[in-house]
Structure 1
């Protein structure tokens, strides 16, 4: 971040956007990647990867080493220029044929490597969908159906990834096992609570303790109606790699960017602007509308204090909210958080909210999220838009699009989960 920053009192929404931009900049692979790159060894260096940030990570690798051999898979629209590493774009959040074909090519690329070779694996959020190799007996259509059902029911990411692992030939440590006996160094950008490498992108480099029975229990808990082939696949023994498997002996993983570090960058900016901080953590989960209303109530409870002492206050949080689809809107957990917060605030002066996904994609929409303030509900009602109806329909993106409240960044080329800030100013 360079130059003068917006003042929280005079330009509250510009200031909130500056906080979000600081969080994204702190996770730029070109900034955080090079310090973790090892010296080149005598063997082959093969670069592989998957995720929304993987192409930018590959760009950082080649800026350090020069042209490299390799293949990474990223979301459509997230490619970057590279000289040796091939970038393939594929479907996200629902996998597609391009992802399946690229994953098969990746598995062939790492086969036959020796102990002197190094596989540099660039893994970030989004890799679960992009790195797709259906287990035996399953088709791409089966995997697509499972993914859509899990996303629509509001299941938390750890449950979604547990199911994905047992329906895959690359997740749950299987990609790393395919590289054996080569050494594997995984550089990872975390988009999950706790920054667990076994959860990021469904753990392609990490051993797995869960069982197919646990995956079945998750499907049953949510009452999902799925193709019979999916249930049959989970009744068989899956091919995830158990702890202690010798094929993972030479595997290392490093978290090079994480939600906590991005929140800290935003917190540092807020402090420099003279704000008091409430940092709620980087791992908040739950229904987006419930969390939005909860943080709005917290801001309302703090408003008298802020007015009394004259110092702005910022409530920061990260994590990954979910949306249970109830209507026909295109949803988006960050936009839904902001809409629920706006409804709870009901136009009270002095409180503004931003909620954005750091990858620039909120749910399935090419929109980072939304920003709301005292003018949000009056502006909507003046335009004949009912905010309560929009929330009931999961149409927060449509709501903010109609009143100019969307935050649109395009691909940010990183992914450290959701960013939320509530600013309370004296008035």
Structure 2
């Protein structure tokens, strides 16, 4: 038996985060120094950490600006760190996007632009088309977040309502040499999907963005739809001299956690790094697998830890906005389905340290979580129906609050299955 299952799962989370730490990965991909200027731009939840690491590693003069989320940031000496809101954009994000666009103006072919991109950059860089305001981009963002659409689909739409996403920042930087360095938070690690690809064009067109809006029944004002329908983003190959490197991803982090589990005598089962779908449905799926592995006799070797990643979604209906995020909602659904099951402890958390609207990265659960919620005066099913997962886990004392991690490689889930106690 594991002496402290929650501490063990927290250690696996920490190992996954450590594997996505920017400095060691950046050291392996540093570009050659240019004849001219070195300009650093960037955005995302790991922007300040990536920028500070780049400063420590770079041998030569540099300048630049990055946009990070409001909250603690790592200070830089030469690169300005601006802050903006996530997941709903704010006026600081407008200023940040404009600062990035100005930073790459007037460059030459002798100059180098290094773009440091991580997850969360879409919300941090609002830059609606000319003639629109921040309120329009907020309306679009809120509709996308409530729709249940996967992150890749949301980012296709976002890049068709922007003056910076979809490769437009790269277009502004021409003719400078451009190196984009990415910490990926999207399933499949498509560079054009991370932060809606400010420096990485793709093949998606306005017709695809409109199809996504139709498929997910996302209702938007007519002027916004018209703007998306006529938007033309740069195509691959049209953004100048560019190199793209993905230095950290969910797969690498999950494999690191699996190796840590194996080193501690627990059999790891890495299910997938790209699981998508409705959070509560994925939670029930994990609960079903946990019950199967906990109660069958062979050929399962226990203790066993199921590890998975990806990005689930929470579909908001009838304007019911509760407290919490997709990891907490996933785990609350799982907690309901494993009630009374001994020998199972689980953790679901966002690797950036913040899950949704509150200060927790996610939560723990076990077979007694639902009962603890009831004992504290709540009901797990009712709270789940109202998207109040944070409130449920607060009642149970099961919140996981490591604080911001400085990186973001999507969600981390680990279900520890031990032998059932003898009757």
TM over 0.5: yes
Partner residue, 1:53: 46
Aligned partner of residue 395 in structure 2, secondary structure: helix
Pick one of 121, 126, 130 that aligns with 1:127. 121
Q: C-alpha separation between the residues in 2 aligned to 1:307 and 1:354?
A: 25
Pick one of 260, 274, 279 that aligns with 2:270. 279
Q: TM-score, normalised by structure 2?
A: 0.95
**Greater CA deviation, 141-150 or 310-319?**
310-319
Contact 1:100 1:131 survives alignment (8 Å): yes
Contact 2:170 2:200 survives alignment (8 Å): yes
Q: Does residue 1:368 correspond to 2:339, yes or no?
A: no
Pick one of 201, 214, 224 that aligns with 1:220. 214
**Greater CA deviation, 269-278 or 305-314?**
305-314
Partner residue, 1:400: 393
Residues 309 and 416 (structure 1), Cα distance of their counterparts in 2 relative to 1, 3 Å cut:
closer
Pick one of 401, 418, 421 that aligns with 1:425. 418
Partner residue, 2:280: 289
Q: C-alpha separation between the residues in 2 aligned to 1:52 and 1:201?
A: 10
Aligned partner of residue 360 in structure 2, secondary structure: coil
Partner residue, 1:73: 67
Following superposition, the deviation at residue 82 of structure 1 comes to: 0.7
Q: C-alpha separation between the residues in 2 aligned to 1:328 and 1:227?
A: 22
Q: C-alpha separation between the residues in 2 aligned to 1:115 and 1:177?
A: 13
Partner residue, 2:193: 199
Partner residue, 1:377: 370
Provide structure 1 residue ranges, at least 5 long, that are not aligned to the other structure. 1-7
Pick one of 288, 295, 310 that aligns with 1:304. 295
Following superposition, the deviation at residue 68 of structure 1 comes to: 3.0
Q: C-alpha separation between the residues in 1 aligned to 2:297 and 2:343?
A: 10
Q: C-alpha separation between the residues in 2 aligned to 1:43 and 1:208?
A: 28
Q: Does residue 1:82 correspond to 2:73, yes or no?
A: no
Aligned length: 417
Residues 222 and 64 (structure 1), Cα distance of their counterparts in 2 relative to 1, 3 Å cut:
same
Trace 1:262-273 onto structure 2 (pairs within 5 A). Answer: 262-273=253-264
Trace 1:3-152 onto structure 2 (pairs within 5 A). Answer: 9-65=2-58, 68-152=62-146
Contact 2:352 2:405 survives alignment (8 Å): yes
Provide structure 2 residue ranges, at least 5 long, that are not aligned to the other structure. none
Contact 1:280 1:315 survives alignment (8 Å): yes
Partner residue, 1:334: 327
Trace 1:173-192 onto structure 2 (pairs within 5 A). Answer: 173-192=167-186
Q: C-alpha separation between the residues in 2 aligned to 1:102 and 1:301?
A: 49
Aligned partner of residue 412 in structure 2, secondary structure: strand
Summarize deviations over 1:156-183 as a string: whole Å, max 9, x none: 1111101101101111111111110000
Aligned partner of residue 135 in structure 2, secondary structure: helix
Contact 2:339 2:368 survives alignment (8 Å): no
Q: Does residue 1:250 correspond to 2:241, yes or no?
A: yes
Aligned partner of residue 83 in structure 2, secondary structure: strand
Following superposition, the deviation at residue 23 of structure 1 comes to: 0.4
Q: C-alpha separation between the residues in 2 aligned to 1:416 and 1:64?
A: 22
Q: C-alpha separation between the residues in 1 aligned to 2:229 and 2:256?
A: 46
Partner residue, 1:315: 306
Following superposition, the deviation at residue 329 of structure 1 comes to: 1.2
Q: TM-score, normalised by structure 1?
A: 0.94
Summarize deviations over 1:283-313 as a string: whole Å, max 9, x none: 0000110011111111111113469977300
Contact 1:142 1:229 survives alignment (8 Å): no
**Greater CA deviation, 78-87 or 285-294?**
78-87
Aligned partner of residue 107 in structure 1, secondary structure: helix
| TM-align CA RMSD | 1.6
Following superposition, the deviation at residue 366 of structure 1 comes to: 2.3
Summarize deviations over 1:90-115 as a string: whole Å, max 9, x none: 01111111111121121111011011
Partner residue, 1:4: none
Contact 2:88 2:123 survives alignment (8 Å): yes
